[in-house]
């Protein structure tokens, strides 16, 4: 496994590997089993696996969140090596955003402006879109792997990749969960044992909505009330429990096709998100 810090070195490393397919797994480091799932999917499919580690300042709305974001490069590189990654691209911020940098890739509409876009500010998905565009153009992979946990991020990426015609195929892997159901997240390490126990209300609420929908309740307002009750029983007041079209993020009032149920909530000071899809993936 080689580790490169510049786009030029990344391209040089990939030049001789273009005969076979290239898989890209973008990460912000602080790797956990969820990332390992993405790396294994890439390893199963592509001849060369490229992982990136870059904590992107442009997508953090709060400087305190950026400062607190866990940075564990040594452990990340060990995990990557164990998972058979070929090339790690771990640039400094100045390599990604040199002096004079002035370009933004921006997705408009509900897909980027509601839910996470509303809670985290307009700049969040602009930051995601801009850096993921850069990473894709640096590596020019055949496949790029993302986790379903970041459903809205995936929808935004799907949109700009199609709109700009970036020549890459997206692969979305199911959310990786601990045995008790909590979605894996780099932020989980910040939860106290008590907070972690309460956080289980989030996957429980999603499961309850899934069961209720399977039992024939199609009115999303009724489903919303059930989820809210489950969350509040654990003292969680969510930022949102949303029922939306998985591609456009337009609100949905009746479940009669695929509906994304997305939850965001702070447990203590840690912000968590999770989601599931009702009515078929």
**Euclidean distance between CA atoms 71 and 54, whole angstroms:** 10
Question: Considering only residues 19, 165, 193, 280, which one is a binding residue for its own copies as defined by CB under 8 A?
Answer: 165
Output 47 or 113, the one with its CB closest to its own copies.
113
At closest approach, how far in Å is the CB of 113 from its own copies?
10
Q: What angle do CA 257, 261, 264 make, to 5 degrees?
A: 165
Whether 35 is a known active-site residue: answer: yes
Query: Interhelix angle for 201-214 vs 220-233, to 10°?
Result: 150
Residues 6+ apart with CB under 8 A from 83: 36, 39, 40, 43, 49
Choice from 77, 79, 87, 129 touching its own copies (CB under 8 A): 129
Residue 123, interface with its own copies (CB under 8 A)? no
Q: Looking at 49, 138, 201, 244, which residue binds its own copies (CB under 8 A)?
A: 138
7-15 and 122-139 helices cross at what angle (nearest 10)?
Answer: 40
Query: Binder to its own copies among 1, 3, 7, 170 (CB under 8 A)?
Result: 7
| Mode of pairing for the β-strands spanning 87-89 and 48-53 | parallel
Residue 226 as a binder of its own copies (CB under 8 A): the answer is no
Q: Which one of 100-108, 195-203, 223-231, 264-272 is the stretch in contact with its own copies (CB under 8 A)?
A: 100-108
A 10 A CB-CB count for 171 gives 18
Rounded Cα distance between 246 and 244, Å, is 6
Question: Site for its own copies (CB under 8 A): which residue of 41, 166, 236, 255?
Answer: 166
Contact between 257 and its own copies by CB under 8 A: the answer reads: no
Listed ranges 21-29, 101-109, 205-213, 234-242: which one lies at the site for its own copies (CB under 8 A): 101-109
For the packed helices 151-164 and 122-139, what is the interaxial angle rounded to 10 degrees?
A: 60
Dihedral of the alpha carbons of 30, 152, 174, 157, in degrees to the nearest 10 = -80
Find the helix or strand (DSSP H, E) in which 241 lies.
strand 238-244
DSSP structure class, residue 3: E
Question: Minimum CB separation from its own copies for residue 41, in Å?
Answer: 25
Between 24 and 267, CB nearer to its own copies: 24
Angle, helices 33-45 vs 73-82, to 10°: value is 40
Q: Which is nearer to its own copies, 60 or 249 (CB)?
A: 249
Strands 270-278 and 259-267: antiparallel
Q: Is 90 in the site for its own copies (CB under 8 A)?
A: no
Query: CB of residue 160 vs its own copies: minimum separation in angstroms?
Result: 4
Answer for which of 160, 209, 264, 273 binds its own copies (CB under 8 A) is 160
Which residues in this chain contact its own copies in the complex, by CB under 8 A? 7, 11, 100-109, 111-112, 129-130, 133-134, 137-138, 140, 159-160, 163-167, 248
Catalytic residues: 35
């Amino acid at each position: 496994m080689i580790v490169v810090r510049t786009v030029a070195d990344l391209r040089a490393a990939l030049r001789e590997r273009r005969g076979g397919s290239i898989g890209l797994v973008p990460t912000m480091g602080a790797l956990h089993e969820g990332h390992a799932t993405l790396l294994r999917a890439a390893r199963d499919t592509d001849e060369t696996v490229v992982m990136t580690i870059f904590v992107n300042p442009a997508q953090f709305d709060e400087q305190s969140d950026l400062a607190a974001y866990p940075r564990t490069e040594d452990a990340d590189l060990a995990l990557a090596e164990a998972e058979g990654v070929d090339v790690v691209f771990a640039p400094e911020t100045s390599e990604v955003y040199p002096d004079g940098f002035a370009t933004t890739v921006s997705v408009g509409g509900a897909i980027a402006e509601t839910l996470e876009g509303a809670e985290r500010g307009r700049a969040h998905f602009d930051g995601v879109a801009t850096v993921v565009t850069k990473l894709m153009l640096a590596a020019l992979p055949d496949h790029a792997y993302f986790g379903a946990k970041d459903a809205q991020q995936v929808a935004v990426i799907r949109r700009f990749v199609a709109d700009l015609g970036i020549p890459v195929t997206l692969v979305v892997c199911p959310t990786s969960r601990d045995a008790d159901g909590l979605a894996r997240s780099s932020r989980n390490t910040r939860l106290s044992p008590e907070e972690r126990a309460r956080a289980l209300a989030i996957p429980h609420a999603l499961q309850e909505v899934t069961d209720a929908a399977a039992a024939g309740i199609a009115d999303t307002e009724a489903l919303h009330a059930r989820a809210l009750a489950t969350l509040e029983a654990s003292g969680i007041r969510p930022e949102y429990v949303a029922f939306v079209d998985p591609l456009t993020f337009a609100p949905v009032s009746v479940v009669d096709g695929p509906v994304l149920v997305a939850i965001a909530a702070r447990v203590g000071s840690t912000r968590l998100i999770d989601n599931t899809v009702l009515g078929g993936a």
